[in-house]
Copies of this chain bind each other. A is one copy, B any other.
C-alpha cells in the first residue's frame, strides 16, 4: 500500500466550522496572535505532516436571509486575517513543515503576488506551496469594486493567463546562472541573463523582470482545490497537489480516477499528481471516549451559522426553512443534489436540514471518522485502499485539541503499522513530496517550457 500523506486544513479565522469555537476547550480565539500559529506548526511538524494548508476567502457569506448577519454573529469564516503574513513566524519554529497558503488570483496583479510568493519561498528555504484559487464569492468581487465575479468559466480563462504570467516570472525571467554574488569582482548578476517577460495578453500586460532572484523552488509547489469540471481540468494541467472532498469512498474514487485520467491526457505523469481527500477525525483514547466527544461537538454546532456557510457554498438561502422536514420532501433540484450525497453517505439517517447542519458543523463537507487510534487507522487505510488517494487533508473541529490528539494518538498508531513516515526527507517541499523530484518543477509541467538557457 502507498504510504499515507497528511496535510492539515486551517483558516486564519475563528475555526473552520461555525460554532465550535464556543466549546470550552477551543482556543481558535488566538488566531490573531503569533503564538497560536507557532504552537500549531510545531505540533504538525512533530506529527510529520507535509504541510499546513491555510484556506482563505476575501468576502463574507451573505446568502442566508439575504445578509451577512449570521456570518457576523456566529463568526462564520469571518473575520479572516491574511494567511500569507503568518508564514515567516511558523517557518522560524519549524524545519520541515510545508506552508500551503491560499492566494486568490482574481483581485491582485500577478507581478506583486509572484514577488510575495517568491519571498516566502526564500524565507522558508523552499517550503512554500501556493494554493491557487480564483475565488467564489460575489461579496469579494464587490469588495474590489466589481459588480459581481466574472462568470465561472471566464474566471478560469483569466486564471490560465495568470498562471502563464507567474510561470514566465518564476521560470523565465532569471537564467540559472544569472546570479554570481561575486564580491571580489564587484558583480551581483549577469545583466544579459535577466529578462523582462514582456507579456501582452488579454487580461494582463507585464513588461518587467521578476523582482526576486530565484528562490529554492522558483515556481512553488502548486496546490489546487477546485472541484468543478473546469476546476479539475485546471488541476490536471497545473496542480502538483490537489485537495478534494467527497462524502463517500465511491465519490472520492470517481474524482481521483477522473483527475488521474485528465492529468495523463494533459501530458503529465498521472502519479505525479498527489491527491488528498478531506477527512474530519474525532479521536480520543478509545472508541467510546471518541464517540462521547463527537456528540459533545455536535452539541456545539451552530445550526444557523452552518446554514449560512452552506448557503454561501450552494447559493441557496436556507433562512426560514423547516429544520425538521426531511430533505427528501423539499422540491429543489439544488437541495436534492446535496440530499443524494448525504443519503448515500449514510442511508440510516433521516436527513433533515437540521441533521445536515449538525453533520456539516463538525467537519464541513468532509466525511467524519470517529474512534480510538486503531479505529481511525483502520478507517484511513480503507480510504487509501478503496479510492487511490495519496493521503488526507485533515479537518479539526476543536483547535488545537483535535490536532494535538491526532498527533499524539493516531500518528504513532500509523507509524507502528508502517504506513506513515517517522521522519522527514531532506530538501525543499517539492523534494520531500516525491523522492524523484528535484527542487524545480518537473519537465512535463507547463511551467517548465518557460525556462531559458
Residues of A participating in the B interface, judged by any CB pair closer than 8 Å: 12, 14, 19, 21-22, 24, 29, 32-34, 38, 58-60, 67-70, 72-75, 78-82, 84-89, 91-92, 107-109, 111-112, 115-116, 118-120, 122-123, 125, 139-140, 142-145, 181, 183-184, 186-191, 194, 204-213, 215, 302
Residues of chain B lying within 8 A (CB to CB) of residue A87: 85, 88
In contact, A72 and B112 (Cβ under 8 angstroms): no
Residues of the B chain whose Cβ atoms lie less than 8 Å from the Cβ of A72 = 188-191, 194, 209
Q: Which listed residue, B29, B69, B89, B115, touches A88 by the CB 8 Å rule?
A: B89
Contact assessment for B29 and A209 in the assembled complex, using a CB-CB cutoff below 8 Å: no
The residue in chain B whose Cβ has the minimal distance to the Cβ of A142 is B207
- Assess the B81–A115 pair: CB atoms within 8 A: yes
Contacts of A33 in B (CB 8 A): 122-123, 125
The answer to whether B211 and A80 touch across the interface, beta carbons within 8 angstroms, is yes
Q: Is the CB of B32 within 8 A of A123?
A: yes
Q: Would you give the shortest CB distance from A170 to chain B, in whole angstroms? A: 13
B211 adjacent to A79 (CB under 8 Å): yes
| Chain B hits for A12, CB < 8 A | 119
15 A-B residue pairings within 8 Å (CB atoms): A22-B183, A32-B123, A33-B123, A58-B111, A59-B208, A72-B190, A72-B209, A73-B189, A74-B186, A81-B119, A81-B211, A85-B116, A108-B108, A108-B109, A112-B144
Known: A19-B186, A34-B91, A107-B111. 15 other contacts (CB 8 A): A14-B188, A32-B122, A34-B92, A58-B112, A58-B115, A58-B211, A59-B208, A60-B209, A81-B212, A85-B116, A86-B123, A87-B88, A143-B211, A144-B206, A145-B205
Copies of this chain in its oligomeric complex = 2
A107: chain B residues within 8 A (beta carbon): 109, 111-112
CA distance A322 to B92 in the complex (A): 49
| A435 vs B3: C-alpha distance when bound (angstroms) | 59
**Cross-chain contact B89 with A86 (CB below 8 angstroms):** no
- Bound together, the chains give a CA A383 to CA B118 distance in angstroms of 41
Q: How far is the CA of A111 from the CA of B60 in the complex (A)?
A: 13
B85 touches A204 (CB 8 A): no
Q: From the candidates B84, B88, B183, B208, name the one contacting A21 in the complex (CB within 8 A).
A: B183
The CA of A384 and the CA of B273, in the complex, are separated in Å by 63
Whole-angstrom distance between the Cβ of A370 and the nearest chain B Cβ: 24
